[in-house]
C-alpha cells in the first residue's frame, strides 16, 4: 500500500467462541516505517460485556527482548478461569497463535529501542452464569540491540559488582569511618544469620485491619535486605540462606496488600528491600536457584507492583515523600525484571510527574526549601533521602538524575542540613500540587536536629564524585558518622556509599 494510506474502521461479527465471546471491533492505522513512533496496527478491542460477575486479568510485565529474537510466548490468566486472549496494539509483531508473538521485520533506518505493546483481554460470558468483561491489561516492552535483554547492569540496584568488591575490602581492612557503619550493621538484630522471622503473613498492611503486621513484616524485610548485605560483606553463606529463606517464606504465603491509605508506602519502602535482596542473591549467590528467584519475583509482580501502579494512576493526593518512595522501588524492580518501560516510567516520574514528589515540585529552586518543611523535619529528611535513592539507582545504570535542575537535590540537602543544625533559613508558605498541604505558614521545628541516615549518599555523589561543596551536609555528617540503621532507608551510608 502507499505510504500514509489509512484503513477505515471495519465492523464485523465474529462467530461465538466456546466461552460465549462475541463481537469485536477491528481497525488498522498506518505504521511509521522507521518505527520511531509506532501507531496502533490491527487493533482488536472486545465489546464490553457489562453483566455478571467481575473478573480480573493477571498479566506480568514483559522484559525487553534482543532484536534477533524470533518469537515469545505470552502468559496471562483470569481469576474467572476463562482463557485470556491477546492483541498487538503497536510495534513490529503479530500473533501467530493464541499466545505466540512473532516479531516481524524492522526497517533498517529504525530508531532503537523499538517499542511493542500487547494487550490481554477476556470478554466474559453472556450466558448464565454471566461474567463481565475484564479490564484489559496492557504491557509494553522494547526490542533492543543490546547484547543483553535489557542493557541493564547486574547487579545494579544501588550497588554494582565493583562497588561490592570495594566495600568488601573496606570491611576486610577495617577502614574507618566506613568500618564503623559495618559494625552497626553487623550488630543489628535484623542482620543476624539466625534471625527468627516474625511472619510470614497472608496479608500485610501498615494501617487498617491488618496493621498488627506492620512492625513484624518491616523487621522481616529488613532482615532479608541486611542479610543479603552481610553475605556480600562477609562471604558467609548463612546470611545468603537466611535472606533467601525469608523471601521464599513470604512468596509462599503472601496474598494481599489491602488498598488502605498507606499501601503505596508499604509497597515502596518494603519493596526496595525485597528487590535489593533479590538482585544480590540472583547475581552473587550461586545456590539461589532460578526457580526460587522466579517464585519470589512472581510474588512481587502480583502483590507489590499493582499497588505502585495504582499510585501512579491516581490523581495526586499525598505529601511529597510518597512519590519518590514508590519511585525508588518501582525503578529498582524495573532493573531486576529487565523491564525498560518500568525503569523509564520511574525516571519520568522523578523529573516530570504531576505530583508533590518530583524534583521540581518537592524542592525550591531558589532556596532549597522542601515541600514538607512546614510539616516536620523527619518527613523532609525522608523525602530527600528517597529522592537521593532514586538518583543513586539511576546513576548505577548510567543516568545522572542527580544533576537535574542545576543540582537541585544538593540545594535541598543543604537547606535541611542548615536548619537542623540550628541555623535560620528562608521560608515561604508553599502552594503544593494537591492544594491540601498549603497551610503551613512557618517552618516546623518538630523533630528539628534529629538526623536520620540519609546524608552520606548525597554527599558522596556531589562532593566525592563531582567535587562540589556541601558545607552544611558535611557538618551533619561530622555529628552523626558513622551512619547506622533506619527502617525506611538503605542506611549504613558511611560504608555503602563511599566512593
* pLDDT tens track for 229-265: 999 999 999 999 999 999 999 999 999 999 999 999 9
Give backbone dihedrals phi and psi of 265, rounded to 5 degrees, phi first: -65, -45
Which whole number is the average pLDDT over 159-163? 96
pLDDT above 70 as % of the chain: 89
**Sign of the four-CA dihedral 276, 278, 284, 285:** positive
Cβ(443)–Cβ(372) below 8 Å = no
Q: Give the model's confidence band at 47: pLDDT under 50 very low, under 70 low, under 90 confident, else very high.
A: low
439 cis-preceded (ω within 30 degrees of 0): no
Tell me the C-alpha distance between 443 and 429, whole Å.
9
Tell me: domain 161-496, CATH 3.40.50.300, correct?
Answer: no
Tell me the C-alpha distance between 409 and 360, whole Å.
9
Q: Give the model's confidence band at 141: pLDDT under 50 very low, under 70 low, under 90 confident, else very high.
A: confident
DSSP-based helix, strand, coil % in the chain, nearest 5: 40, 10, 45
Predicted confidence (pLDDT) at residue 31 exceeds the cutoff of 50: no
Q: Give the model's confidence band at 308: pLDDT under 50 very low, under 70 low, under 90 confident, else very high.
A: very high
Which whole number is the average pLDDT over 189-198? 98
pLDDT for residue 109: 67
Which whole number is the average pLDDT over 156-161? 97
10 Å Cβ neighbour count for 401? 21
Burial of 13 (0-12, 13-18, 19+ CB in 10 A): exposed
As given in the structure block, the three cell numbers for residue 21 are: 465471546
Predicted confidence (pLDDT) at residue 18 exceeds the cutoff of 80: no
Q: Where in the chain is the domain with CATH 2.60.40?
A: 10-144
pLDDT for residue 6: 39
Predicted confidence (pLDDT) at residue 402 exceeds the cutoff of 80: yes
pLDDT for residue 432: 96
Q: Give the model's confidence band at 12: pLDDT under 50 very low, under 70 low, under 90 confident, else very high.
A: very low
Cβ contacts of 429 within 8 Å, gap of 6 or more: 374, 438, 439, 440, 441
Tell me the C-alpha distance between 360 and 350, whole Å.
8
Which whole number is the average pLDDT over 280-300? 96
**Residues in the chain, total:** 499
- CA 169 from chain centre, in angstroms, equals 30
Q: Where in the chain is the domain with CATH 1.50.10.100?
A: 161-496
Instruction: Fill in the DSSP letter of residue 430.
Output: -
pLDDT for residue 29: 39
pLDDT for residue 19: 38
pLDDT above 90 as % of the chain: 80
Topology of the domain comprising 10-144: Immunoglobulin-like (2.60.40)
Q: How far is CA 46 from each of CA 88, 124, 129, 204, rounded to the nearest angstrom?
A: 13, 10, 19, 36
Predicted confidence (pLDDT) at residue 407 exceeds the cutoff of 90: yes
Helix or strand or coil: residue 117? Answer: strand
Predicted confidence (pLDDT) at residue 21 exceeds the cutoff of 90: no
Span 349-387, pLDDT tens digits: 999 999 999 999 999 999 999 999 999 999 999 999 999
Predicted confidence (pLDDT) at residue 390 exceeds the cutoff of 90: yes
pLDDT-wise least confident of 81-90, 136-145, 351-360, 472-481 = 136-145
Amino acid at each position: 500500500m502507499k505510504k500514509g494510506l489509512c484503513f477505515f474502521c471495519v465492523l464485523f461479527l465474529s462467530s461465538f467462541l466456546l466461552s460465549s465471546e462475541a463481537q469485536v471491533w477491528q481497525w488498522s492505522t498506518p505504521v511509521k516505517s522507521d518505527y520511531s513512533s509506532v501507531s496502533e496496527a490491527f487493533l482488536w478491542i472486545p465489546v464490553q460485556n457489562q453483566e455478571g460477575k467481575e473478573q480480573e486479568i493477571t498479566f506480568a510485565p514483559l522484559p525487553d527482548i534482543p532484536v534477533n529474537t524470533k518469537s515469545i510466548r505470552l502468559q496471562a490468566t483470569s481469576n474467572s478461569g476463562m482463557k485470556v486472549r491477546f492483541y498487538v496494539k503497536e510495534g513490529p509483531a503479530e500473533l501467530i497463535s493464541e499466545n505466540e508473538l512473532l516479531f516481524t521485520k524492522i526497517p533498517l533506518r529504525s530508531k532503537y529501542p523499538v517499542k511493542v505493546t500487547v494487550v490481554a483481554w477476556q470478554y466474559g460470558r453472556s450466558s448464565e452464569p454471566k461474567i463481565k468483561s475484564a479490564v484489559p491489561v496492557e504491557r509494553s516492552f522494547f526490542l533492543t540491540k543490546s547484547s543483553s535483554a535489557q542493557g541493564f547492569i547486574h547487579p545494579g540496584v544501588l550497588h554494582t559488582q565493583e562497588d561490592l568488591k570495594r566495600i568488601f575490602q573496606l570491611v576486610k581492612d577495617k577502614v574507618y569511618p566506613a568500618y564503623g557503619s559495618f559494625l552497626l550493621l553487623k550488630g543489628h538484630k535484623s542482620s543476624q544469620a539466625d534471625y527468627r522471622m516474625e511472619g510470614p503473613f497472608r496479608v500485610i498492611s501498615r494501617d487498617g485491619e491488618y496493621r498488627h503486621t506492620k512492625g513484624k513484616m518491616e523487621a522481616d524485610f529488613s532482615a532479608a535486605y541486611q542479610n543479603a548485605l552481610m553475605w556480600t560483606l562477609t562471604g558467609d553463606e548463612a546470611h545468603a540462606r537466611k535472606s533467601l529463606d525469608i523471601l521464599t517464606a513470604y512468596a509462599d504465603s503472601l496474598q494481599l496488600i489491602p488498598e488502605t491509605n498507606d499501601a503505596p508506602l508499604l509497597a515502596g519502602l518494603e519493596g526496595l528491600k525485597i528487590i535489593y535482596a533479590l538482585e544480590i542473591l540472583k547475581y552473587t549467590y550461586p545456590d539461589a536457584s532460578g526457580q526460587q528467584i522466579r517464585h519470589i519475583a512472581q510474588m512481587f509482580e502480583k502483590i507489590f507492583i499493582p499497588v505502585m501502579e495504582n499510585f501512579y494512576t491516581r490523581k495526586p493526593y499525598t505529601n511529597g515523600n510518597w512519590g519518590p518512595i514508590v519511585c525508588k522501588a518501582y525503578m529498582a524492580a524495573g532493573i531486576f525484571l529487565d523491564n525498560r518501560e518500568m525503569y523509564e516510567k520511574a525516571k519520568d516520574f522523578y523529573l516530570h510527574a504531576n505530583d508533590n514528589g518530583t524534583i521540581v515540585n518537592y524542592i525550591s529552586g531558589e532556596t532549597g526549601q522542601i515541600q514538607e518543611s512546614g510539616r516536620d523535619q523527619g518527613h523532609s529528611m525522608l523525602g530527600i533521602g528517597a529522592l537521593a535513592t532514586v538518583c543513586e539507582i539511576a546513576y548505577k545504570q548510567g543516568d545522572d538524575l542527580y544533576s537535574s535542575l542545576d543540582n537541585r537535590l544538593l540545594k535541598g540537602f543543604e537547606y535541611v542540613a542548615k536548619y537542623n543544625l540550628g541555623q535560620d533559613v528562608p521560608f515561604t508558605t508553599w502552594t503544593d500540587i494537591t492544594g491540601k498541604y498549603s497551610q503551613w505558614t512557618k517552618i516546623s521545628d518538630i523533630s528539628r536536629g534529629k538526623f536520620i541516615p540519609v546524608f552520606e549518599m548525597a554527599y558522596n555523589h556531589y562532593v566525592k564524585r563531582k567535587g562540589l561543596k556541601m558545607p552544611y551536609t558535611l557538618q551533619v555528617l561530622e555529628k552523626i558518622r558513622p551512619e547506622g540503621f533506619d527502617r525506611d532507608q538503605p542506611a549504613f551510608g558511611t560504608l555503602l556509599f563511599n566512593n
